[in-house]
Each structure stands twice: as C-alpha cells, then as structure tokens.
C-alpha cells in the first residue's frame, strides 16, 4: 500500500500550460500518474500532452468527477486562489509546488483546507511519490523503488539522495513525501507520521529534518509517547550552520535558542531514534532498527 497517492488517484494539474506545469505533467504521465485534466484560466479547450485543459477546476471536475487530487504549478501571486479553487471543488489532496508564497497567505489557505478536510502538501515542496504507482510532483522517479520504507523530508535534494541510497541497498519505499521548507506548511512530520502508522505495508520510517522550527522535536515527542510505533531513523541537515543565519529554506532559521541541530538530535535520540551523521549511514541504521 501507499499513503495519500496510488495508481488509482485521478489528478488535475493547475497551471498545466505553463513551462513548469507542462514539463512535469509529461514526466508524471510517463511515470504512470493518472492525470485526467489540466486547468489554466483562458486556455480551456486546449490539450497538453493529450490532457484536456479547462478554465476552472470546477469545470474540470464536472467532466472528471472521479478526480480527487490537484497539483499547483501556478505563479506565487495566484497560488493562494488556486488552492481555494481546488479545495472548493472537492479535492482531497492538494500539492503546492509553488515557492515564494507569502506566509500570511499560506496560513490562511492551509487553515481553510484543514477545515474542509483537504490535505495540503507544501508549499515550496517537491511533492510526493508512491514508487511503482504514481508521482505527484517534481521528484526524479528513477531514484525511488517500491518497498516498505516511508520517507518524510523537509529538503527536496536530500529526499532524492536518501531515496537513491536506500534503493541501491534494495530498500524500497512505500511513499516519499517532501513536505516543504517554508515556515508554514500544510502537512507536518507528525501529521504524515499518523498516516504512515496506519499503513500496514510501511515497516519503518526515515525522517529528513533540518534546523529551524520544532517539527522534529514534536516528532520525537510523538515517538516517545508511543503514538508512532514503527522503527524510525533520522537525518538532520544544518549541523554546521551558524546560529541566526537563514540557510536556504525560509523555515531553516535558528531563533531564540530553538530549532538547533543539537536540540533536534538530542530530542530524537532521547526518543530512541538513531540519527545519521551523513545520508549514506541511513540504510545501515535502518537495517539495525528493523532487526530489533
């Protein structure tokens, strides 16, 4: 099994006629994702890689009522409206690839989506992939392989690197989620962990964190309290980052003594989680964790 996304999921691409939307639609289709419609206002009636384009998500859903997921490649200034449109049209999963969305806008649409029962991944994220089934995002499909390991990551590039390291060692993945690196995101570590806990085919989990925020500490607390029972291995990026300096992601800033590398590692280790010093240690640490 997989979480959130599988080979049956029917997808709408918002911003399909743009350069990024068109490019990644082709790659997602090639991977096997069931993309049934695209949306770009004013471009209704066109086709992109054989996918029909509509002016609104509402129109797309009228023609394709079995669509349940949307992916957003819309420029930042229109992205919030695109999310509201997807949620109002009944999408159960919305993946927001767009970066540079103002924090106050993200707060509003994430809160709105939660009230309506829609799961948001992102913004500013690489999306998710259930290897061998479907991908919804910009992850390079060839580095992942089907199997029993879940991955939740704040970093896009590290997600690919760790997925590849696991695949090379014959340790395939159930679902890989890039949750995004902004200060406000739709799905946190603990929310994704709840889904993996319920998935019978996920046997273990890799958490890829980074400095800033307290998501990793919350994940550690969840494990400590016995609310996540499967083996967990972690990697935290930013070991050498100077305090007070923002490192790449808007969410990766240490402030007022919280969100430090040392604090995150300590919290995870106290919860019984092995923390790798390099991504390449993860397969061996996972083997050890699965033997226990």
Known catalytic residues are: 249
CA dihedral 46→49→55→61, nearest 10 degrees, is 130
Tokens of 62: 């009228």
| CA 266/CA 225 separation, integer angstroms | 16
Beta carbons of 151 and 159 less than 8 angstroms apart: yes
CA 119 to chain centre: 11
H helix count then E strand count, the chain: 9, 14
| CA 267/CA 240 separation, integer angstroms | 18
| CA 237/CA 247 separation, integer angstroms | 10
Spatial neighbors of 167 by CB under 8 A, at least 6 apart, are 143, 144, 145, 173
CB atoms within 10 A of CB 88: 14
Whole-number Cα distances in Å, 5 to 136, 215, 284: 8, 23, 28
Beta carbons of 57 and 91 less than 8 angstroms apart: yes
Beta carbons of 68 and 91 less than 8 angstroms apart: yes
| CA 108/CA 167 separation, integer angstroms | 38
Asked, as a colleague might, if the bond just before 123 is cis with ω within 30 of 0, I would say yes
């Amino acid at each position: 099994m997989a979480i959130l996304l599988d080979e049956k999921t029917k997808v709408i691409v918002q911003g399909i006629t743009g350069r990024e939307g068109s490019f990644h639609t082709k790659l997602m289709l090639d991977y096997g994702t069931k993309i049934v419609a695209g949306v770009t206002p004013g471009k209704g009636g066109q086709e992109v890689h054989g996918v029909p384009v509509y002016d609104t998500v509402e129109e797309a859903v009228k023609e394709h009522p079995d669509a349940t997921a949307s992916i957003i490649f819309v420029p930042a200034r229109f992205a919030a409206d695109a999310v509201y449109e997807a949620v109002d049209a009944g999408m159960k999963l919305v993946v927001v690839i767009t970066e540079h969305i103002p924090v106050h806008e993200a707060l509003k649409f994430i809160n709105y989506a939660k009230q309506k029962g829609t799961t948001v991944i992102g913004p500013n994220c690489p999306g998710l992939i259930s290897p061998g089934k479907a991908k919804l995002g910009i992850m390079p499909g060839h580095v992942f392989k089907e199997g029993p390991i879940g991955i939740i990551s704040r970093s896009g590039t590290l997600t690919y690197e760790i997925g590849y390291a696991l695949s090379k060692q014959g340790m395939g993945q159930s679902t890989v989620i890039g949750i995004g690196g902004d200060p406000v995101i739709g799905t946190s570590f603990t929310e994704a962990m709840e889904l993996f806990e319920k998935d019978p085919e996920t046997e273990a989990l890799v958490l890829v964190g980074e400095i800033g925020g307290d998501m990793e500490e919350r994940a550690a607390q969840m494990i400590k309290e016995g609310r996540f029972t499967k083996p967990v291995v972690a990697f935290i990026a930013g070991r050498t980052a100077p305090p007070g300096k923002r490192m790449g992601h808007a969410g990766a800033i240490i402030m007022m003594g919280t969100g430090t590398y040392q604090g995150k590692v300590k919290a995870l280790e106290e919860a019984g989680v092995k923390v790798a010093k390099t991504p390449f240690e993860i397969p061996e640490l996972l083997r050890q964790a699965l033997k226990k």
